[in-house]
Amino acid sequence: MFTETPLMSPVRNPVRIHHLVQDIAQAIAGATLGEVFATVNRLVAEALGARHTCIHLLDPTGISEDTLARTVGTCPSLEARPEDMRTFMIAERDWNQHAAQATDHVAQWSNWRALIEGSKQFRQGFAFNEGIAVPLCYGDEAYGVFNIYLTGTVPIGHEELDSLLLLGPLLYGAIRRELHILEIESLSQQLAEASRHKSEFLAGMSHELRTPLNAILGFSELLLDGHSGPLTEKQQRQLTHIQTSGRHLLQLINGVLDFSKVEAGKLDIEPRPVNLSNLISDVLAVTEPIAQKKGVSLHLQGESSVPPISADPLRIQQVLLNLVSNAIKFTPQGGRILIRLWQEGDTLAVSVTDTGVGISPQDAGKLFREFTQLSRRNNQPREGTGLGLALAKRLVELHGGQIWAESEGEGHGSTFHIRLPVQSTSLSVA
C-alpha cells in the first residue's frame, strides 16, 4: 500500500468505533448541517486517521453530486493532473452509486491502486491507503454516501465496518432535518412574496374601482339635487338606491385598500390628542338609526372624565364603527347593545357587548383572520369582504393597543374588548 507520509495508524477496534458513533450522535444533536459535517469530519479524522472525508448527496437519478459533496467535506489540495482527477472522480461516482444501492453494508474501495500507480503527481495530491463508503440511509432509502479516505496501514475489519454503518442513519437524519428546514424557509419566502403580490394587486384594483365609482356617486348626487331638472318620485327612489349601494360598495373597496396598505406597510397614521368619549358618541350618532330600524337598543356607559389618547381619530372611529355595526348585524330584534368606556391603569378600555347570536368555539379562532367570515346562522346571507375585524386588529395594534373577543357560545351574545394606551407606544407601520 502507498502513502506519501508515514503516519502512525490509530488503534482501531469495534468498541472504539462504536464509541465514535456515540460521540458523533451526541455532538450533532440539534446542530446545523454545517456544524454536523465539521464535527463528523473532525471526529472521524481523529479516530480513524482519515486523510479526508466527503459527503456526497444523490440526485434523483441516484448519481452522486460531487460539487455539493466536496464543499462540505475536508478536502486536500489536489495537485493531480486533470486527466487523473477526472478518472478518479468517475470511479468514485460509480463507487458511490454502488454503495448507496447496498444500504445494508459498508463498501470498501480497492480500485484506487489502478488510479494512482505510476502517477507521482496524483500520489502527492491524493494519497490514501483505503477508502470506505458509508451509505446515508434509513431503511431502504439512500440519500447519499459518506466517504472516508484512510492513511493507516492496517485495513479496517468487518466488525469495525458494521459499527461504521451506524453513521448512515445519523447523518441521514441530520441532512433531512436541515433540508426540511430549508424547504420550509423557501416556502415561507414564496408565501410572503405571493402575499405581497396579492396586496399590490388588491391595492391597484381598489384604486381602479374607486375612480369610476366616485363618478357614479357624484353624478347620482347631482341628479338627486335637481341639477338636471325635476325628478319623479320613482326616479328619486331609484337614485337613492344607487347612492346607498354605491356608498356600500365604496366602503368595501376602501376596506380592501386599507388592508392592502397595512400589509404593505404604507398605511398613513396621523396621531393627535383624541377624546375617545367623543369618538364613541359620533359612532353612536351614525349607527343608532340603523339599530332603531332593526329594533335593537343602544346604550352607552362611560366614565365622566377620561384622559385623551394619542391616536388617529379616523382610524379609531373606523374600528369602533366596525364593532358596533357588527353587533347590530348579529343581534336580533329586541336585543340590546352596551358600549362601555373606562380607564384601566395606563390604558383606556372600550367594550361592545351584545345579546346576539354569540360565537361558537370553532369560530373563536377565526374572528380576526383576513377574508374569513363566521358560519351562517338562521340562513343569514354573508355580507362584506371578511376584512373588517382583521383590519380592526391591525389598526388597534398600530396604535400600540389590543383587541379580543369573548363569548360563552352560540346564543349567548359576545363582547369585544379594546385596550388603547393613554400615550400610544408606536404609531408607525412595522
pLDDT digits (tens, 9 = 90+) for 13-31: 566 777 788 888 887 777 7
pLDDT band at 428 (very low <50, low <70, confident <90, very high): very low
- pLDDT, one tens digit per residue, over 104-145 is 555 554 444 444 444 444 445 555 667 777 777 776 666 777
Q: Which of 78-92, 141-155, 351-365 has the highest mean pLDDT?
A: 351-365
Phi/psi of residue 404, each to 5°?
A: -155, 170
Q: How far is residue 270's CA from residue 133's CA, in Å, rounded to a whole number? A: 66
* Predicted pLDDT at 46: 77
Residue 324, C-alpha cell as written in the block: 358596533
Residue 259, C-alpha cell as written in the block: 388592508
What mean pLDDT is predicted for residues 4-9?
A: 34
Q: 202, exposed or middle or buried, with CB in 10 Å at 0-12, 13-18, 19+?
A: buried
* Predicted pLDDT at 374: 61
Q: Is pLDDT of 96 > 60?
A: no
* Predicted pLDDT at 15: 67
* Predicted pLDDT at 106: 53
- pLDDT, one tens digit per residue, over 166-204 is 787 888 888 788 778 888 988 888 888 887 777 777 777
* Predicted pLDDT at 379: 52
What mean pLDDT is predicted for residues 150-159?
A: 70
Instruction: Compute CA 121 distance to the chain's CA centroid, rounded to the nearest angstrom.
Output: 52
Compute CA distances 82 → 64, 75, 87, whole Å. Answer: 20, 16, 9
Residue 123, C-alpha cell as written in the block: 500520489
Beta bridge partners of residue 419, listed in sequence order: 349, 402
pLDDT mean across residues, the chain: 75
Question: How many residues are recorded in the chain?
Answer: 430
- CATH code at 272-421: 3.30.565.10
Largest CA distance in the chain: 111
* Predicted pLDDT at 93: 60
Q: How far is residue 295's CA from residue 307's CA, in Å, rounded to a whole number? A: 34
Please count the CA atoms within 13 angstroms of the CA of 25 that sit on its side-chain side: 12
Q: Is pLDDT of 60 > 80?
A: no
* Predicted pLDDT at 373: 65
Q: Is pLDDT of 102 > 70?
A: no
31-63: b or e for each residue (b if 16 or more CB lie within 10 Å)? bebeebbbbbbebbbebbbbbbbbbbbbeeeee
Beta bridge partners of residue 74, listed in sequence order: 53
Specify the amino acid at residue 358. G
CB within 8 Å of 33: residues ≥ 6 apart: 72, 174, 175, 178, 179
Specify the amino acid at residue 73. G
What phi-psi label fits residue 62: left (phi over 0), alpha (psi between -120 and 50 degrees) or beta? left
Q: Tell me which of 308 and 149 has the higher pLDDT.
A: 308
Report field, pTM of the whole predicted structure over 0.75:
no
- pLDDT, one tens digit per residue, over 328-367 is 999 999 999 999 999 999 999 999 999 999 988 888 878 8
14-165 architecture in CATH?
2-Layer Sandwich (3.30)
Residue 414 sits at the vertex; the CA angle it makes with 411 and 420, to the nearest 5 degrees, is 175
* Predicted pLDDT at 385: 61
* Predicted pLDDT at 143: 73
Q: How far is residue 18's CA from residue 350's CA, in Å, rounded to a whole number? A: 66
Q: Tell me which of 387 and 410 has the higher pLDDT.
A: 410
* Predicted pLDDT at 320: 95
Instruction: Compute CA 23 distance to the chain's CA centroid, rounded to the nearest angstrom.
Output: 35
Q: How far is residue 58's CA from residue 108's CA, in Å, rounded to a whole number? A: 19
* Predicted pLDDT at 39: 80
Instruction: Compute CA 228 distance to the chain's CA centroid, rounded to the nearest angstrom.
Output: 56
Q: Tell me which of 392 and 132 has the higher pLDDT.
A: 392
Beta bridge partners of residue 336, listed in sequence order: 297
What is the 3-class SS of the chain, one letter each residue?
Answer: CCCCCCCCCCCCCHHHHHHHHHHHHHHCCCCCHHHHHHHHHHHHHHHHCEEEEEEEEECCCCCEEHHHHHHHCECCCCCCCHHHHHHHHHHHHHHHHHHHHCCCCCEEECCHHHHHCCCHHHHHHCCCCEEEEEEEEECCEEEEEEEEEECCCCCCCHHHHHHHCCHHHHHHHHHHHHHHHHHHHHHHHHHHHHHHHHHHHHHHHHHHHHHHHHHHHHHHHHHHCCCCCCCCHHHHHHHHHHHHHHHHHHHHHHHHHHHHHHHHCCCCCCCEEECHHHHHHHHHHHHHHHHHHHCCEEEEEECCCCCCEEECHHHHHHHHHHHHHHHHHCCCCCCEEEEEEEEECCEEEEEEEECCCCCCHHHHCCCCCCCCCCCCCCCCCCCCCCCHHHHHHHHHHHCCCEEEEECCCCCCCEEEEEEEECCCCCCCCC
Q: What percent of the chain has pLDDT over 90?
A: 22
* Predicted pLDDT at 152: 66
- pLDDT, one tens digit per residue, over 277-296 is 999 999 998 899 889 999 99
